[in-house]
Amino acid sequence: MDSEPLLQQQLDHHPSLAYSNHSSSKILTLPTVLTLGRVAAVPLLIFTFSVDSWWGRTATTSIFMAAAITDWLDGYIARRMRLCSAFGALLDPVADKLMVAATLVLLCSRPLNIAVFGQVPWLLNVPSIAIIGREITMSAVREWAASQNGKLLAFDT
pLDDT at 45 over 70: yes
Inside any domain, residue 16 = no
User: Which tens digit of pLDDT belongs to each residue from 59-107?
Assistant: 999 999 999 999 999 999 999 999 888 888 889 989 999 999 999 999 8
> What is the domain range of residue 70?
28-87
Residue 107 domain-assigned? no
Query: What's the domain count of the chain?
Result: 1
Whether residue 128 is contained in a domain is answered as no
Question: What was the pLDDT predicted at 126?
Answer: 86
Evaluate whether residue 45 is within a structural domain.
yes
Radius of gyration of the chain (CA): 19
104 domain-assigned: no
Is 152 part of any domain? no
> For 54-60, which contacts have Cβ atoms below 8 Å and span 24 or more sequence positions?
none
